[in-house]
Structures are given as C-alpha cells and as structure tokens.
Amino acid sequence: MTGKTIITGGAGFIGSHLAARLKAQGHSLILVDNLSTGSRANVADLLDDRCQLIHADACEAVADPKLWDGVRQVYHLAAAVGVQRVIDDPAAMVHNNVEQTSAVLEAARRADASVLIASSSEVYGKCPVLPLREDMELVYGPTTASRWAYGLTKAIDEHLAIDMHRRHGLRVVIVRLFNTIGPRQVGHYGMVVPRFVERAVAGETIDVYGDGTQTRAFCDVRDITRAMMELMAKDECFGRVFNLGSDQRVTINELADRIIQLAGGTAGKRLVSYEQAFGPDFEDPAHRLPDTTRISEAIGFQPQIGLDQTLTELIELRRELLAGIGATAGGGD
C-alpha cells in the first residue's frame, strides 16, 4: 500500500530506518518526533517534498485533522525508551507512552487509517518460561521496582489498540519488538550493543551488568522494518499481536567477547552489579527469547542478517564516525 504514511518517532533509531524503506517504496512520509531521543540528523538525507519532519509531541501533532489529509497508515513508534530513562523518570515515561498511543489510536480511527503499534518484549515482564509466546500470562515485579513500569505502559497500549479494533474495527497490528540493533541506535539510554561497540572500538573496558549469564536475542533493524511493512500489508494481521525478533540468543558475556574480538581484541571487560549500575531494587529478566511461530506463519518471517554481520558493520561505522567520515551519531536536534 503506497500513499501517505505517518511515522511517530520517525526521527528515532527504528523510525529512521523504517522511513528510508517506506520512502524507497514510493510512500510520502510525515515524520512526527519531539526529538527527545531521536534527531534531525537521523533523517536529514530523507527530507524533501515527499518526506516532512514535524518537530512536536505526537499527541499534539495528530490532533490536527489537516495532518491526516490523504494518510492511509501510521506506524506509531514514539515512546520514551531505554532502561536508564525509565528509572530516571518513570512517571514522565508512563504519561508519555500511554497518552501518545491513546491520541494516535483515536486520530487514526477518525481518519480511517491503518495502525502499527510498536510494543515491546518488556510486556512479558519476568515471565520465566521460554520461548515467550504471545498468549502467555504476563509476570511483573513489585511497583517499587520502576523498571516494570515501561512494560506495563506497553501492555496498556496493547489493550487500548485491541479495544479500538474490537469496538471500532480499527485496522491495527501490534508488534512486540525484542532487542533490535543497527546503525543510529545510541548507547546512553542503556542500550547494550552501542554501549559495548563504543567501548570496544575505543579499546576501553566494557561494563557487563550482573554476572553476564543473562541472555538476549538480537535482530537487525533491516529485518525488523521489513517485517513491519509486511504485517501492515496483510488484512489478516489486524487485531493481532506478534513477537518480532530473532530466535537466536546469546549471553551478554558472549556478546561482549564477540564485540571485543571483532573490534580487534584490545578492550577488556568487567562485571558491574545491577545495584552499582541502576541503584537498589533494580530487577532484570534473566532471559528473553521470542517464540516466532506466529509471525513465521503470518508472513514467513525469518531474519536474513546474522548477529556478526550487524556487529561488524556497527564497529566499522563507529570507526568512520570517530575518523569524521559520514555517519551520524543521533541524539539532540
């Protein structure tokens, strides 16, 4: 489906990759972003008469009916993200995430546009059963541990979206994204791969939180954005929730070793307790792995880009950035 498309959070990490892919396929784009963690630099190459960036909060921008002239679909990616931001100001994160989603769903309903909601594997909380399947019970820690607030806001987003689908027939698909990696992701909000790559390329010591035996599954952003577009193109996917990520997991220790080796082997690593890194009461799920059966059946999803390929490219881009060649750093306006 070509036509006009809105991407909220369009100047962020995943949003900027999605924008490039959609534009290459002939879509006209409106990127709505408050540039809190995204940046104009992330999308500067895309901006022209077919791709406009509106610097605003999503809930304000989508309230303007003129924005929706000719719009057929919206990818809602705007959210306060990153473990560090959630811990620093959980209340702001809760308000931001739920209010934006509620406003986007209501405006899309009025405009009769299709919607993709970017949810998160954090919705599973600390569910102990692997792999994580979309219809599982969700398990959260106590409300005194702020990190669960993020997953809860994403679960509320999902409830709002499913209700809009059931009561108003809104064409909405929900993706629970697992760890997504690629160029333009930034490390200072707690994202592990850019943090490790920056240190390894600088030959500095990598901080591994906890004992490093926790596992995660990382998927390249190009595989993720391709799948998002394929889900939106299939009517059967509306009203449904899909895990989206890789089904190959690594321990964080292995990830650090891999990055150090690919970067030339000069960096070291050390273990840092969660308490030291994030303060008391911090909890982290030991393992995360998606069951990808549902999305494989729906669109034949299989990641095409392996972890080593993405890591190698990220190390190269980091070197180019430090040498002052080309790539953008992201963050700020």
Ligand X SMILES: NC(=O)c1ccc[n+]([C@@H]2O[C@H](COP(=O)([O-])OP(=O)(O)OC[C@H]3O[C@@H](n4cnc5c(N)ncnc54)[C@H](O)[C@@H]3O)[C@@H](O)[C@H]2O)c1
The strand pairing partners of 215, in sequence order, are 251, 287
CA 175, 181, 183, 186 torsion: positive or negative?
positive
Strand order from edge to edge, sheet including 71-76: 51-55, 28-33, 4-8, 71-76, 114-120, 172-177, 241-244
Residue among 7, 63, 14, 79 nearest 42 (CA)? 14
**Count residues contacting ligand X (CB under 6 A)?**
28
Of 14 and 200, nearer to ligand X (C-beta) is 14
Of 204 and 333, nearer to ligand X (C-beta) is 333
How far from 117 is each of 74, 105, 191, 263, CA to CA, in Å? 9, 9, 21, 35
Min dist. Cβ of residue 312 to ligand X (A): 19
Binding residue for ligand X, selected from 5, 73, 114, 180, defined by CB under 6 A: 180
Min dist. Cβ of residue 203 to ligand X (A): 26
Q: Is 150 a catalytic residue?
A: yes
Scanning residues 72 to 131, which ones bind ligand X (CB under 6 A)?
Answer: 77-81, 96, 100, 118, 120
Interface mask (CB under 6 A) for ligand X, residues 273-302, using x and -? ------------------------------
Q: Does 34 bind ligand X (CB under 6 A)?
A: yes
Choose the catalytic residue: 75, 124, 140, 150: 150
Residue among 295, 170, 316, 311 nearest 224 (CA)? 295
Of 53 and 167, nearer to ligand X (C-beta) is 53
Of 73 and 179, nearer to ligand X (C-beta) is 179
Binding residue for ligand X, selected from 9, 187, 194, 303, defined by CB under 6 A: 9
Q: Does 310 bind ligand X (CB under 6 A)?
A: no
Q: Does 33 bind ligand X (CB under 6 A)?
A: yes
Question: What angle do helix axes 13-24 and 221-232 make, rounded to 10 degrees?
Answer: 60
Q: Does 157 bind ligand X (CB under 6 A)?
A: no
Task: Please name the residues in contact with 200: beta carbons below 8 A apart, sequence gap of 6 or more.
Answer: 206, 259, 260, 262, 263, 267, 315
- Give the whole-angstrom CA distance, residue 279 versus residue 248: 30
Q: Distance from CA of residue 30 to its chain's centroid?
A: 19
Footprint on this chain of ligand X (rule: CB under 6 A):
8-9, 11-15, 32-38, 57-58, 77-81, 96, 100, 118, 120, 177, 179-180
- Residues with a catalytic annotation lie at 150
